[in-house]
Amino acid sequence: MRWTIKPKPEQHQIDALAKALKVDSLVAHLLLQRGVSTYEEAKKFFRPELSDLHDPFLMKDMDVAVSRIERAITNNENILVYGDYDVDGTTAVALVSSYLQSFYPNIATYIPDRYGEGYGVSFQGIDFAHDNSFSLIIALDCGVKAIDKVAYAKEKNIDFIICDHHRPGKSLPEAVAVLDPKREDCSYPYDELCGCGVGFKLVQALASRRGETIEDLFSYLDLAATAIGADIVPITGENRVLAYFGLQVINTDPRAGFKAIISQIKKKTLTITDVVFIIAPRINAAGRMKHGQHAVNLLRETDLEQATTFAAEIEKFNTDRRGLDQEITQEALQQIVENKEEERFTSVVFKDSWHKGVIGIVASRLTETYYRPTLVFTKSGDRLAASARSVKGFDVYNALQDCADCIEQFGGHKYAAGLTLLEGQFENFKTQFEKVVQETIDPKLLTPEISIDSQIELSEVTPKLIRILKQFAPFGPGNMTPVFMAENLKDTGWGKGVGENEAHLKVTLTQSGSEPIGGIGFNLGDKIDLIANKRPFSATFSLDENEWQGNVSLQLKLRDIK
């Protein structure tokens, strides 16, 4: 691991903020690193309010989109709410369709089949809309590059409203409205919304025209928070507000579908991390293993008994998904070893029988193991389809753009993308992708980085500090859990490996006579020799609370030791 300490803010800024907020200098230091430099900014950070959300009509084309939906309702048109099969897409479809259906009956939902149609807007989906007399499609979390599909729909007298957050291409589809804060000509104040977030802004705009307030939309925020966590967008600005209140809904009055999932978990209060690792994989499993519509049905269901049946079905999909992803990951790792590719700048693997629904997860696992920009390919009809994942600091979307002559189509973000290509282009692509990455990546990015907020003394770790740090949540990109470093630590002699194969490291630490404090290092069991015989060492860690038999104690969650 590569340890890097973030630049320390100017001392006079730390002193001024600490004085204004009546907090100690460490807290002021951490806030400044997160872009919080005044009392007002701190108030918004610690006490978000729904009134902090921007006026949705600041988004380019929002007025046109709202007018077209209002006209559709006046003319009794059929509206199809269309979205991608991942968490962002299915939550967006559930949110927008259930809001519209609360006052207008002619609403249906459509999720493309991952295997039959692939990602985004499909000709098949448009044919479905035409065959069933839909004259307006609201596309969520997809569509900003669907120029040919939108033109095809136009020929069939079907209008499109696109709500997307992916980077547009050189030109936009000829839709009635394209809502995408990443449009060059859109001056909306916040451009990091996820697809469900853009859908929520559309609902917010519609609601305001109907005399409703943001408080009337509170119950939809559990969906927005789930999408924000799952899509790994920055938890800053509007996303922070939506996630903050969405977690409140999840923990106090969740919709029936979430209640059915949560009832299987022995956890009182869910954090954004729990949403990402417990709720999101289950919603995703529907689209990976069967069909994304199952997830929409669960999220729209109001009857708890029916939702419980749907949740049990999805739990089965998730169990199947887990087994498959472990099996394919092992095969992919074996392929890298057999082909002697450990020294490459990239990992690109392919097997025609791998399940398309889990190749994204497998790509993430390979990236964790070899820490390289990674693509996992499988056969999809007469094409090859791949999921790409990247390492921190490297834009895999740009790298794919530089290989565009080998690719049929691709889309995505800086750290995750998808693509298709002809089988005959696979070797060309593999060679070109390796060359592009080798020429453009900073080699140090191929070693995982631990980004450290501040060096501290163990004596600074107090219950008060943990209470304040808890209020920094929800955590995520742009506001990660604070990570600290301390030097000259010693284990009291009780350090040991715990868990299966002693994979984890349990320690009790002191520093120059300080009170002992417990620590746990997941997957650090192999570092036990570094702490043996009370020899001094340095550690990076976040702060945590350990609950055991009703007692709560402070502990360090170790990230690495040297």
The backbone region for 108, taken as left when phi is positive above 0, alpha when psi lies in -120 to 50, beta otherwise, is beta
Tens-digit pLDDT profile for the chain (562 aa)? 999 999 999 999 999 999 999 999 999 999 999 999 999 999 999 999 999 999 999 999 999 999 999 999 999 999 999 999 999 999 999 999 999 999 999 999 999 988 888 788 999 999 999 999 999 999 999 999 999 999 999 999 999 999 999 989 889 999 999 999 999 999 999 999 999 999 999 999 999 999 999 999 999 999 999 999 998 899 999 999 999 999 999 999 999 999 999 987 777 789 999 999 889 989 988 888 888 899 999 999 999 999 999 999 998 988 888 899 999 999 999 999 988 887 899 999 999 999 988 999 999 999 999 999 999 999 988 899 999 999 999 999 999 999 999 999 888 788 889 999 999 999 999 999 999 999 999 999 999 999 999 999 999 999 999 999 999 999 998 999 999 999 999 999 888 989 989 999 999 999 998 889 999 999 999 999 999 888 999 999 999 888 777 788 899 999 999 9
CA distances from 301 to 5, 239, 520 (A): 47, 25, 40
Task: Quote the pTM value.
Answer: 0.90
Decide if 520 contacts 558 (C-beta within 8 A). yes
For the domain made up of 339-446, the CATH class stated in words is: alpha beta
Alpha-carbon span 331 to 379, nearest angstrom: 16
CATH placement of domain 56-313? 3.90.1640.30
Strand segments, DSSP code E, in 201-356 are: 347-350
Alpha-carbon span 47 to 168, nearest angstrom: 34
Amino acid identity, position 30? L
For the domain made up of 450-561, the CATH class stated in words is: mainly beta
Alpha-carbon span 207 to 351, nearest angstrom: 48
Decide if 444 contacts 3 (C-beta within 8 A). no
Alpha-carbon span 413 to 141, nearest angstrom: 12
Token pair listed for 99: 């809001």
Estimate the share of the chain in helix, then strand, then coil, as percent rounded to the nearest 5: 50, 20, 35
Consecutive H or E run containing 374? strand 374-380
Sign, CA dihedral 441-446-451-452, equals negative
Task: List the domain boundaries for the chain.
Answer: 56-313, 339-446, 450-561
